[in-house]
Amino acid sequence: MSVSQDPCAKPTLLHPDDALPKLLQQITTLEATEAVALTDALGRVLAEDLSSGIEMPPFDNSGMDGYAYRFDDLPQTGTLKLIGRSFAGHPFTGKFEPGTCVRIMTGAEVPAGYDTVQMQEQAQADGDNITLEPCKKRGENVRLRAGELAIGQKVLTRGSLIRAAEMGVIATIGLASVRVYRRVKVAFFSTGDELRPLGSELQPGQIYDSNRYAIKGLLERLGVEWLDLGVIKDDRESIRHAFREAASVADMVLTSGGVSVGEADFTKQVLDEEGEITFWKLAMKPGKPFAMGHIGKAVFCGLPGNPVSTMVTFYKLVLPLLHKLQGMQPVTPLQLQATLTSPISKKPGRVEYQRGILSRNADGALTVCTTGSQDSSQMSSMHSANCFIVLEQMQGSVAADTLVTVEPFNSVLC
């Protein structure tokens, strides 16, 4: 039995994995950088390599609340004489003496001469006489000076996204400010005479403009600066005006709708006149009519109007472009294998990013099912998903119990 081909697939259309490097070649990272206080750096991209100017930890310190002692003094003695205390921020000021110990707290400096810490649960105190269960090895419960970082050791590289962990790393080495790339500016608008603002009453043939809100959500998650130009009528001059305004302020102009072949699909046509379309259509579903180019100094990305196509092309194509524009190191999506719990219907021809729900079954194995109808007009299929099920270009339908590739959503979509 012959398998019918996806009628939207053409042999000339590129696989998204082959298209992406070509799209990325058209992106030049922003040159401008700025110094920001660490408190304002979350979500920004580091524009410099960072090396540590200090040793971390800066002194030998205890990993437990207990007693610091010299390893060689036990087990011969068993009982040691307590001669002082070392608390975090209040080091012991006395001098080491053989056969003694010092009461010590977690993070407090291990005084010179002592090399091991026994936790207090393994100790018995009788006044100043401390009987310790000997530690198994020298250095137990001691965090050595420079054990984590030496002076000059690189801690973060240029292009790192500053998340909570990087905030912590930067603070660890004592930097109150860092140099980051300036924020990318993105202007976006929706096109379509059928689109109505939220809160208005729908007349026959009209729908609400949902894509602009999804795009705004994606851009906010990314931490870029954005300008929402609203809904633009399916009219050449209105679209032309919107393009000019967007390109005058933004590094990237994003549109939704009007990139297919319909008679009112003016986005691509106007951009052809005002700038240049350098790429159009690829072998992916949803998202085939994605267009890219430039207008003035701004990069142009034309997202297909079907709501799911808008979100998927943003996530799979625009996101890596924005990452490069803002200087971020490329991110390779995490892919896992999971067992499909119900069959999937697919025609060979395009790579499909079906919306999936990834979970673990009672045996702890990863399983996945689709969110139901995969029509690209149904935004709700994105809402209930937590991953894409990635089905390769020439693959046909997939039976239940087959292992499939899944890509869990990252924080931009979650």
Ligand X SMILES: Nc1nc2c(c(=O)[nH]1)N[C@H]1C(S)=C(S)[C@@H](COP(=O)(O)OP(=O)(O)OC[C@H]3O[C@@H](n4cnc5c(N)ncnc54)[C@H](O)[C@@H]3O)O[C@H]1N2
305 touches which of ligand MOO, ligand X, none (CB within 5 to 8 A by kind)? ligand X
* Helix, strand, or coil (residue 313): helix
* Helix, strand, or coil (residue 82): strand
Site string for ligand MOO, 193-222 (x = CB under 6 A): ------------------------------
Does residue 285 belong to the site contacting ligand MOO (CB under 6 A)? yes
**Which CB sits closer to ligand X, 210 or 395?**
210
**Which CB sits closer to ligand MOO, 111 or 258?**
258
In angstroms, rounded to a whole number, what is the distance separating the alpha carbons of residues 121 and 168?
31
Q: Residue from 118, 255, 306, 381 that binds ligand MOO (CB under 6 A)?
A: 306
Q: How far is the CB of 281 from ligand X (least distance, A)?
A: 8
Of 146, 143, 171, 140, residue with least CA distance to 156: 171
Does residue 141 belong to the site contacting ligand X (CB under 6 A)? no
Does residue 304 belong to the site contacting ligand MOO (CB under 6 A)? yes
DSSP states along 338-396: EEESS-B---TTSEEEEEEEEEE-TTS-EEEEE-S---TT-THHHHT-SEEEEE-TT--
Does residue 376 belong to the site contacting ligand MOO (CB under 6 A)? yes
Name the E strands within 268-363.
Answer: 276-280, 284-285, 291-295, 298-303, 336-340, 351-360
Q: Which two structure tokens, joined as six digits, stand for 229? A: 């130009």
CA 36 vs. chain centroid, Å, equals 21
- The window from 25-33, 163-171, 204-212, 246-254 that contacts ligand X (CB under 6 A) reads 204-212
Site string for ligand MOO, 335-354 (x = CB under 6 A): --------------------
Q: Residue from 141, 190, 370, 381 that binds ligand X (CB under 6 A)?
A: 190
**Cis amide prior to 330 (ω within 30 degrees):** no
In angstroms, rounded to a whole number, what is the distance separating the alpha carbons of residues 295 and 195?
25
Backbone φ and ψ for 310, nearest 5 degrees, come out as -60, -50
275 touches which of ligand X, ligand MOO, none (CB within 5 to 8 A by kind)? none
Q: Residue from 66, 257, 349, 356 that binds ligand X (CB under 6 A)?
A: 257
CB contact at 8 A, 279 and 327: no
Q: How far is the CB of 286 from ligand MOO (least distance, A)?
A: 3
106 touches which of ligand MOO, ligand X, none (CB within 5 to 8 A by kind)? none
Does residue 256 belong to the site contacting ligand X (CB under 6 A)? yes
- The window from 147-155, 282-290, 351-359, 405-413 that contacts ligand MOO (CB under 6 A) reads 282-290
How many residues sit in the footprint of ligand MOO (CB under 6 A)?
8
Q: Residue from 77, 100, 116, 306 that binds ligand X (CB under 6 A)?
A: 306
**Cis amide prior to 75 (ω within 30 degrees):** yes
**Which CB sits closer to ligand MOO, 96 or 280?**
280
Q: Residue from 60, 115, 265, 352 that binds ligand X (CB under 6 A)?
A: 265
**Which CB sits closer to ligand X, 293 or 307?**
307
Q: Which two structure tokens, joined as six digits, stand for 63? A: 């990993």
- The window from 79-87, 173-181, 304-312, 335-343 that contacts ligand MOO (CB under 6 A) reads 304-312
257 touches which of ligand X, ligand MOO, none (CB within 5 to 8 A by kind)? ligand X
Residue 6 exposure: Cα atoms within 13 Å on the Cβ side: 24
- The window from 66-74, 141-149, 166-174, 282-290 that contacts ligand X (CB under 6 A) reads 282-290
In angstroms, rounded to a whole number, what is the distance separating the alpha carbons of residues 298 and 312?
22
**Residue 17: in which H helix or E strand, if any?**
helix 16-24
Q: What is the dihedral of CA 82, 88, 91, 97, to 10 degrees?
A: 30
- The window from 146-154, 170-178, 252-260, 336-344 that contacts ligand X (CB under 6 A) reads 252-260
Q: Residue from 151, 202, 207, 334 that binds ligand X (CB under 6 A)?
A: 207
How many degrees, rounded to 5, is the angle at CA 32 between CA 31 and CA 35? 135
Identify the residue whose tokens are 């053409």. Answer: 10
In angstroms, rounded to a whole number, what is the distance separating the alpha carbons of residues 190 and 382?
19
The contact set with ligand MOO (CB under 6 A) reads 285-288, 304, 306, 309, 376
The contact set with ligand X (CB under 6 A) reads 8, 190, 192, 194-195, 207, 209-212, 256-262, 265, 286, 288-289, 304-307, 309, 376-377
